[in-house]
Each structure stands twice: as C-alpha cells, then as structure tokens.
Amino acid sequence: MTPGEALAATGVDARAAGPGDAVAGVTPRWVALPESTGEVALVMRAAAEHGLAVVPAGGGTKLSWGYAPTRCDLLLDTRRMNRVLEHEAGDLVVRVQAGVTAAALASALGEAGQQLALDVMAEEATVGGVLATAAAGPRRLRHGTPRDLLIGITVVLADGTIARSGGKVVKNVAGYDLGKLFTGSLGTLGVITEATFRLHPLPASRAWVTATSPDPRVLTAVATLAGSQLEPSALELDRPGTHGPLTVAALFEGVAAAERAKAAAELLGDGSAISSGPPAWWARLPGERPAPDPAELLQETPGGHPTEDGPGPRLTESSPGDRSLEERVPQGGGFLLELRVPPAFAGRALAAVAWASDDAGGPPVHVRGSAASCVLHLAVPVDTPPGAAEIFVTSLRSEVAGDGGRLVVWTAPPEAAARLDRFGPVGAATLMRRVKERFDPEGRMSPGRLAGAPPAGSGT
C-alpha cells in the first residue's frame, strides 16, 4: 500500500494537498480532515506505518510561528472537530473538540452567561491552536493564560496512542498534567484533540480607561494601578512608533466596573478617558490587519458552529475545509517578536527596544501588549534588511537578559529567518529535548519547529 492508499483506507476524509496548503513554505502531500479523536488516531497510525511527518493545523492563523517544519507530508486539519461536547453550566465547565474556534465557543457559552476567560484574538483561531501556541491576550492579568484555565486534555501521539489527563473537575491533582506539557508545544508532541476548561461568569459590565502620553513615564502610573486594590482585569499598552507616544488602557470588569474605572482615571491623570468599549487595537497583535467582523465569519462557515441545543451538525465536505491556508492566514508577513521581562522593568524594556532599533539602523518597531504582566509583542516591517533584523534581535536580547528578560521571534520573512536564533537560550532546553524524544522518538511531529529552544541539531 502506498501512503496515500493507507490514508484512504482509514476511511477518514483526506485529499491531495495543493500549494495553498503550504506550512511556512513547506507544501504537504496530503491533508486529512478527521472529525473525532478516534479518526485522528486512525490517521496517525497510518502516518506512523509510512513514516509520514505530520503538522497539525487549527485555524491556520499562526502556522508561520516558530521555525518552518523541516518536513511535512501530512497536514492534519482539525477544523472539522468543531463540536462542543459537554457544557454543564452549573459546573462552569466545558469540554470541546480542539477545532472549535474561539469565536464560536464564546458565542455558545455567552448564551449561558458564561465565558472562557481568554481573549478571542483571531476569530478563526481554534482551541487547539491557542493551546499549542500558549497564546493569551490582555486578560492574562486576571485570569492567566490558557494553561491556567485548562483542566483536562485528550491528545493523540505520533504512534496513534490516545492519551488523556486531568478530567472535568476544576480541582484535581491525580497524575501528571499532560495539558501543561502540550501548552506551547507548537504541534511537536502530538495532536490535541479535545480540551476541557473551567469557565467564568460573564461580567455584569465592563469599562475601559485609556490615556495617551508622550513618553513612557506613564508606566509609573500603570505600576501603581497594577499594585492597587482596584483589581483591573487587564492593563495594556500600545506604542506605534519606536520613540513615539504611548497609549495605555485598563479594563475593569464586574458590577462596579464604572466606579473602579473612575478611580483608575484619576490615577492615570489628565487626558484619560473612560469608555464602554475597547480601543481599536485591543487584543490584536501589532502589525496585523484589524480583525474582520465576527458576524461575517460566522456566515462564511454555515453549520460549523454549535447550536443552542447541543453539538453542532457535522460539516459538509465543501465547508471551510476547502478554503486554503493561504486565504486564511492574515497578510503581513513581517517580523513578530515576543518580549517578556518582569513587570517592574517595563520602562527599561521599552527603552531597550528603542536602543536596539537605533543599533540596527532604525527600523520602526510597533510595540503592543500587556503592560502589567510585561508580555509585549513587537512588529517590525517586512522590508527590514535581514542584517538589520539580526542586529535588532541580538542587541535587544542581550539588553534585556540582565533583567531576566526573554525574546522570541515568532515570525520572520524567509530571507531573515535563516539568520535568526528564534528562541534564545532556554534553561530547560535539554529536558524539553528529552520530552520530545520520548513522545515522538521518530521525530515526525512538526519536525524542526521548536529547534533552537532545545540545542540546535537535537532533532527537535
């Protein structure tokens, strides 16, 4: 049997791949469209028998994150796994398939007055993709990141083994937490097929306070706010120009949100404004086009969303599975970096960004992110010369190292990508490599994606 025949013999929907299915420039040979954990296992067993390299994909919005895979024979598209399996409102718990989009989940839970307290950052982003990238938005300040809300997970390993950890209760310490391990794994350990999350009630009201200041001194007020008893849910900053003015925004949630926002506005000083909606840049990565209207997206995926009375209908064959990745991936293609420092060093981090840009000949850098947790995203234009990008990364990384900072290069144009150390030094690199070798001894899961975090050439 050829690999193609073996895939067909599983009975799981699959098709030949086209150039539109390329993952960071690497075109797979097949695309599989499983609908359940069991189907993923069938596909993975067939892939194991034929030594196929597999890259899982969710919404495809962040397939360019990390190194390009060194091989990709099979793209495992999870978007038909889009059902809400269990939602017990009284338990504040939901179990979903990994291909459910964040937006669809939000609307399903919203009907019960509940939410998964993660920010919906890209309407097509799936639960699996959010976990695999460990992506979190502004409300990380109050609710943490995906790993803090995940209480159970089901995964399928490279050899087709189905494994589960955690459960559907909020409090549970039985066994190792595989969910944590798979958070941030970028598809290199296995396929996430189901996830169970703890939920929160939707807040009664929300209020934002925004203030724009000519320089980073406003961060002192941000620090005061972060240490205050007003309990903001989020504290974000946006600085479109490398040396330009800075906008900060705080979110308050709850019955007395407006009252707390008023107190925060006093702290932030003259020129701060209170609003009932977020600023346009809220929960968006810098350098990406603004999100499309969610209503539009819902129309594009008929039948793909769970309905009130339970799981959604199965998708028909011509549903969004046929929109190629190319059509789904946000355009831009520039550099996206993630800078983390301990919160007290936010001001120094912004200064370091400006210096590093000067060192590199002045490419404009757009900084945006969580001011109080100090997780900042940096966008650098696509036409920045590779040499300048390299100087920027090296210089910024060494600048923040003294403060215990980290710099990750999530995306880079192909010419520059080859020259950049994407992850920088990672203390636990050897342990990560060993975990990878145990879970995927043949190196067939998204090979190369995390290379560099573990020492180069380690096969990870």
Ligand X SMILES: Cc1cc2nc3c(=O)[nH]c(=O)nc-3n(C[C@H](O)[C@H](O)[C@H](O)COP(=O)(O)OP(=O)(O)OC[C@H]3O[C@@H](n4cnc5c(N)ncnc54)[C@H](O)[C@@H]3O)c2cc1C
Residues that bind ligand X in the complex, under the rule CB under 6 A: 55-63, 65, 78, 98, 121-122, 124-126, 128-130, 132-133, 135-137, 186-187, 191-192, 283-285, 288, 291, 330, 377, 446
87 binds, among ligand X, another protein, none (CB under 5 to 8 A by kind): none
Give the shortest CB-141-to-another protein separation in angstroms.
11
Of 5 and 300, CB closest to ligand X: 300
Q: Pick what 192 binds: ligand X, another protein, none; C-beta below 5 to 8 Å, kind-dependent.
A: ligand X
Nearer to ligand X, 193 or 384 (CB): 193
How far apart, in whole angstroms, are the C-alpha atoms of residue 391 and residue 407? 13
Residue 260 binding result from ligand X, another protein, none, given CB thresholds of 5 to 8 Å by partner type: another protein
Q: How far is the CB of 370 from ligand X (least distance, A)?
A: 7
Burial of 318 per CB tally in 10 Å (0-12, 13-18, 19+): exposed
Report what 437 binds from another protein, ligand X, none; CB cut-off 5-8 Å by kind.
Answer: another protein
Shortest spacing between CB 118 and another protein, in angstroms: 14
Compare residues 129 and 347 and give the one whose CB is closer to ligand X. Answer: 129
HSE of 288 in the Cβ direction (CA atoms, 13 Å)? Answer: 22
Query: Taking the complex as a whole, how short is the minimal distance between the CB of residue 233 and another protein, in angstroms?
Result: 12
Nearer to ligand X, 155 or 225 (CB): 155
The single residue listed with the structure tokens 């397939």 is 63
Degrees to nearest 5, angle at CA 262 with 256 and 267: 130
Which residue number, 58 or 347, has a Cβ lying nearer to another protein? 347
Residue 126, strand partner residues: 101
Among ligand X, another protein, none, residue 428 binds (CB under 5-8 Å by kind): another protein
In the complex, the smallest distance separating the C-beta of residue 291 from ligand X, rounded to whole angstroms, is 6
Q: Which does 162 bind (CB under 5 to 8 A by kind): another protein, ligand X, none?
A: another protein
CB of 22 to ligand X, least distance (A): 13
**Closest CB to ligand X among 265 and 408?**
408
Nearer to another protein, 154 or 272 (CB): 154
Residue 184 CA to residue 132 CA, distance in Å, equals: 5
| Strands of the sheet with 30-32, listed across from one edge | 14-16, 30-32, 74-77, 54-57
Q: How far is the CB of 301 from another protein (least distance, A)?
A: 18
Contact 423, 414 (CB under 8 A): no
Among another protein, ligand X, none, what binds residue 20 when CB lies within 5 to 8 Å by partner kind? none
Q: CB of 416: closest distance to ligand X in angstroms?
A: 19
Judged by CB, which is closer to another protein: 343, or 369?
343
Contacted entry of ligand X, another protein, none for residue 78, CB cut-off 5 to 8 Å set by kind: ligand X
Euclidean distance between CA atoms 444 and 131, whole angstroms: 20
Structure tokens at 452: 């560099």
Q: How far is the CB of 222 from another protein (least distance, A)?
A: 12
Pick what 108 binds: another protein, ligand X, none; C-beta below 5 to 8 Å, kind-dependent.
none
Shortest Å, Cβ 241 to ligand X: 19
Which residue's C-beta sits nearest to ligand X? Answer: 129
Pick between residue 81 and residue 121 the one whose CB is nearest to another protein.
81
Shortest Å, Cβ 299 to ligand X: 19
Work out what residue 194 binds among ligand X, another protein, none; the CB cut-off runs from 5 to 8 Å by kind.
Answer: another protein
First vs last Cα of the chain: how many Å apart?
29
Q: Which is nearer to ligand X, 123 or 253 (CB)?
A: 123
Residue 126 site contact among ligand X, another protein, none (CB < 5 to 8 Å, cut-off depends on kind): ligand X
How far apart CA 187 and CA 10 sit, in angstroms, is 22
Choose between 325 and 451: whose C-beta lies nearer to another protein. Answer: 451
